[in-house]
């Protein structure tokens, strides 16, 4: 027979231990909720509407909480309790596409990625494809997803969802291919979609001689943290765009360094 827990529960130290345990659980729950909210905001590509709505809801929630419990406004508390569920349902209905994308993108969070080993052949495959495209002077536009989700862009393109392969990338950008116009979205070791339209940079200081591919690469890098690789159709030169900056005429070694930084490891050849 198991011993009775009553003497332990009557002990003050045991009660204090239980309270500390509850506090730890509560802090952990709040930390997880905050993490999910932050991931959601990043996964929506910095949408002004989503950020504004989140800020508005948090401000109103804190204000009502303070007013209700500071001045004991019981009637206002009752009204809030009746309206809050409807507000939550309304937000979910109106913003369900963004919420769905954010939930899907949560699985790509770095905290989960640490438990899964990346294919060490990703970087060499990308390098081989870019090298051949550059040699043959075949234009290419490849966006490599980082933290900010590119799901809305890939959904507007042609779904590929195939293992990253240098020959597949070359086939996509072959001039007579039906998918050669637009860009390719790469997520981890997968080619997500092709023929995707990227936003063009509207920066008035950008060199007017830049072609559409370079403007699209720069535009996407201004709105997201993606690394965008460009191969010029005219010269075969390799460029990259990252965080709103365009880097021209890179060597394969320089491109490899940038890809290593994206995938967080040294490429294995």
Instruction: Locate the DSSP E strands across 203-251.
Output: 227-231, 238-242, 245-250
CB 29, CB 21: distance < 8 Å: no
Mean pLDDT of 210-224: 91
Strand order across the beta sheet in which 158-163 lies: 158-163, 190-196, 183-187, 140-144, 227-231, 238-242, 245-250
Same domain, 45 and 90: yes
Judge if 176 and 106 occupy the same domain: no
- Tens digit of each residue's pLDDT (9 = 90 or more) over 74-132: 777 787 778 777 777 777 776 666 666 556 555 555 445 544 445 567 899 999 999 99
More confident residue, 203 or 200: 200
Same domain flag for 168 and 210: yes
Chain mean pLDDT for the chain = 79
Q: What local confidence, expressed as pLDDT, does residue 68 receive?
A: 76
| Percent of the chain predicted with pLDDT > 90 | 34
Say whether both 33 and 147 belong to one domain.
Answer: no
Inform me whether the pLDDT recorded for 247 exceeds 90. yes
pLDDT score of 192? 93
Domain boundary residue, one of 70, 92, 112: 112
Mean pLDDT, rounded, for 189-206: 89
Locate 220 and state its tokens.
Answer: 């996407």
Q: Within this chain, do residues 124 and 84 fall inside the same structural domain, yes or no?
A: no
Between 12 and 77, the more confident residue is 77
Q: What is the pLDDT of residue 4?
A: 53
Mean pLDDT, residues 208-220 taken together: 89
Does 130 share its domain with 159? yes
Average pLDDT in the 140-145 region? 94
Q: Are residues 101 and 131 in the same domain?
A: no
pLDDT given for residue 81 in this prediction: 77
Q: What is the extent of the structural domain holding 20?
A: 11-112
User: Can you read off the two tokens belonging to residue 86?
Assistant: 């409807």
Q: List the CATH number of the domain containing 230.
A: 3.40.1700.10
> Given pLDDT bands bounded at 50, 70 and 90, which one contains residue 66?
confident
Last residue of a domain, one of 112, 130, 162: 112
- Does 225 lie in the same domain as 148? yes
Give 142's strand partners.
Answer: 184, 229
Q: What angle do CA 209, 215, 218 make, to 5 degrees?
A: 125
Nearest-angstrom CA–CA distance, 66 and 78: 15
Q: How many domains, in total, are found in the chain?
A: 2
16 — pLDDT class (breaks 50, 70, 90): confident
Burial class (CB in 10 A: 0-12, 13-18, 19+), 204: exposed
Is the pLDDT score of 255 beyond 60?
A: yes
75 and 82 Cβ atoms separated by less than 8 Å:
no
Query: Do residues 170 and 133 touch, judged by C-beta distance below 8 A?
Result: yes
**Alpha helix stretches (DSSP H) within 95-225:** 96-106, 110-113, 122-135, 151-155, 166-173, 212-223
Are residue 130 and residue 25 in the same domain, yes or no? no
Report whether pLDDT(215) > 60: yes
What is the arithmetic mean of pLDDT over 236-244?
93
Q: Which carries the bigger pLDDT value, residue 250 or residue 57?
A: 250
């Amino acid at each position: 027979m198991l011993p009775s827990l009553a003497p332990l529960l009557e002990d003050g130290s045991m009660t204090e231990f239980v309270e500390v345990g509850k506090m730890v659980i509560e802090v952990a729950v709040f930390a997880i909720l905050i993490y999910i909210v932050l991931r959601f905001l990043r996964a929506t590509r910095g949408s002004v509407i989503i950020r504004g709505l989140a800020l508005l809801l948090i401000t109103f929630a804190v204000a009502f909480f303070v007013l209700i419990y500071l001045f004991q406004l019981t009637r206002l508390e009752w009204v809030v309790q009746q309206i809050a569920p409807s507000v939550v349902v309304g937000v979910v209905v109106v913003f369900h596409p963004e919420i769905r994308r954010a939930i899907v993108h949560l699985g790509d969070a770095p905290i989960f990625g640490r438990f899964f080993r990346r294919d060490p052949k990703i970087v060499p495959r990308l390098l081989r494809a870019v090298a051949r495209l550059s040699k043959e002077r075949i234009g290419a536009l490849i966006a490599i997803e980082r933290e900010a989700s590119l799901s809305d862009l890939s959904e507007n393109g042609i779904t590929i969802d195939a293992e990253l392969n240098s020959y597949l990338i070359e086939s996509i950008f072959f001039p007579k291919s039906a998918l050669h116009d637009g860009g390719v979205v790469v997520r981890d070791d997968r080619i997500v979609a092709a023929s995707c339209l990227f936003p063009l940079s509207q920066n008035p200081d950008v060199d007017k001689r830049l072609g559409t591919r370079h403007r699209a690469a720069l535009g996407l890098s201004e709105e997201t943290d993606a690394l965008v690789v460009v191969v010029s159709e005219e010269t075969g030169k390799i460029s990259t765009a990252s965080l709103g900056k365009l880097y021209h005429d890179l060597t394969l070694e320089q491109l490899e360094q940038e890809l290593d930084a994206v995938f967080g490891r040294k490429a294995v050849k």
